[in-house]
Amino acid sequence: MFVTATDTGVGKTQVAAALLSLLADAGASPAPFKPYESGCTRLSRPADALELRSAARSSDPLDQVCVHRFRAPLAPGIAAARLGRVPAFRPVLEAFRGFGRRPLVVEGAGGLLVPLDPRHDVIDLIETLGLPVVLVARAGLGTLNHTGLSLELLRARGIPVRAVVLSRASSAPDPSVEDNAAWLAERHRVRVLGPVPFIEDAARRRRAFRKALRSRGRQHAPEPSRKFSPPAARACSAACSAARLRIGRVESSARQESRHMGDVIDLTLVSDARRYFQKLLDTRGLNYFLRKDGGRLFQIEQSKVEMIVRTAARSRPAHLPRPPQHAVDHCRKEIRRELIRRVVEAMLQTGL
Ligand SMILES: [Mg+2]
């Protein structure tokens, strides 16, 4: 999961820390990743990275958690340029790979178009890592525009958005807050969590973010849980709080109920499947996945998609539980979507 925001100082670190702590509570051994951090008073103590590492209860090396650090409170690419440096992209990807199959929560830097180096903005990093996004946004006036722009850009790049989290930046009255969540959910067909109230006390603030991330939030469509009885919904809600944000493994006791949920995601499965897909793509080429039906029509070989998902499911370590059916269904959808994106890109490039 990649936590990005409409702006800087909106609450990314709080959201990322809450996700990591929820995953840690579920026994998932999550990996914290804050690849670029600016505004470090001491380069040896990057505050956000340390907060994420502590929330994840991890002992990952700080050099892996936070690859590039800058003193200046500026966009990383600009802070680096002022020092006459170009922060290398490759070590960031190597650090990412180093986390292996663990569930990962990445905190970006600023918003989507913040430069990381002369060639990459934050959105390029998200695309390269192939992660879904949680978008953190202000709860008050101005957020419809900022959030809408960010969502449009993510959609244009084909990056899936799991949720928008609204966070209040001050306790001053703002009459726009009461409508923003519902408006965003309907207009952009996205799940909206929060608004998380403005709380000065750090411990209470942490609890408020955790609560928002566990909640069902506002959705544009009816909840799947309406189809089944309240007790089943409650059991599911308790056991699948992490899964609701598509971040967690579903506990085996809740597997039956979770079959009814449309949004259970297993990040390990998806990232394994993507890796295997890329490997096949590199060795066999795009045509391996396609049948050509004359003219400009291409048909995806569903059996190849199935094979990728099955291989990813089979290759998981013995200590991980078998992925629930909905996670497998989701993984299949992700691979199909990725495949379609690659086909369209190739067609556009070759002018077919
Ligand atoms: Mg931060």
Tell me: do 135 and 269 sit in the same domain: no
Cα angle value 177/123/109 (rounded, 5°): 65
Q: Which of 217, 247, 277 is the last residue of a domain?
A: 247
Number of domains in the chain: 2
Q: Provide the angle, in degrees to the nearest 10, between the axes of the packed helices 202-214 and 12-25.
A: 70
pLDDT at 294: 66
- Would residue 218 count as lying in a domain? yes
pLDDT at 296: 65
Tell me: do 190 and 320 sit in the same domain: no
> H/E/C letters for each residue in 49-89?
HHHHHHHCCCCCCHHHHCCEECCCCCCHHHHHHHCCCCCCC
pLDDT at 203: 94
Count helices and strands in the chain by DSSP H and E runs: 15, 10
> What is the length of the chain?
352
Tell me: do 209 and 292 sit in the same domain: no
pLDDT at 232: 46
The upper half-sphere exposure of residue 223, i.e. CA atoms within 13 Å in the direction of its Cβ, equals 14
Structure tokens at 246: 């598509």
Distance between CA atoms of 218 and 168, rounded to whole angstroms? 16
- Would residue 43 count as lying in a domain? yes
Q: Which of 226, 247, 268 is the last residue of a domain?
A: 247
Tell me: do 210 and 310 sit in the same domain: no
Structure tokens at 283: 């060795």
- Would residue 68 count as lying in a domain? yes
How far, in Å, is the centroid of ligand 1 from the Cα of 77? 16
Tell me: do 243 and 268 sit in the same domain: no
pLDDT at 352: 52
> Which domain range does residue 334 map to?
260-350
How far, in Å, is the centroid of ligand 1 from the Cα of 48? 5
Tell me: do 293 and 345 sit in the same domain: yes
Contact at 8 Å (CB) between 20 and 125? no
Nearest CA to 14 out of 166, 173, 121, 181 is that of 166
Nearest CA to 192 out of 241, 233, 137, 145 is that of 137
Structure tokens at 318: 């013995």
Contact at 8 Å (CB) between 169 and 181? no
Contact at 8 Å (CB) between 231 and 203? no
Q: Determine if residue 213 is left, alpha or beta; phi over 0 gives left, psi from -120 to 50 gives alpha, anything else beta.
A: alpha
Series of mean pLDDT values for 10-residue runs along the chain (352 residues): 96 97 94 98 98 98 98 98 97 96 96 97 96 97 97 95 95 93 94 95 95 84 46 44 41 39 71 89 87 73 92 82 85 89 78 55
CATH of the domain at 99: 3.40.50.300
- Tokens 């396609």 locate to 290
Q: Which of 12, 34, 227, 292 is an active site residue?
A: 34
Tell me: do 212 and 329 sit in the same domain: no
Tell me: do 112 and 227 sit in the same domain: yes
* Coil, helix or strand at residue 157: coil
- Tokens 């509570």 locate to 25
Chain centre distance of CA 115: 19
Distance between CA atoms of 97 and 94, rounded to whole angstroms? 5
How far, in Å, is the centroid of ligand 1 from the Cα of 161? 19
C-alpha dihedral sign at 323, 273, 264, 129: positive
How far, in Å, is the centroid of ligand 1 from the Cα of 177? 23
Structure tokens at 63: 């050099």
How far, in Å, is the centroid of ligand 1 from the Cα of 85? 22
Distance between CA atoms of 64 and 296, rounded to whole angstroms? 45
211 is catalytic: no
Distance between CA atoms of 48 and 260, rounded to whole angstroms? 37
Tell me: do 122 and 270 sit in the same domain: no
Distance between CA atoms of 230 and 59, rounded to whole angstroms? 40
How far, in Å, is the centroid of ligand 1 from the Cα of 9? 7
Cα angle value 126/128/129 (rounded, 5°): 65
| Longest distance between any two alpha carbons in the chain, whole Å | 64
- Would residue 63 count as lying in a domain? yes
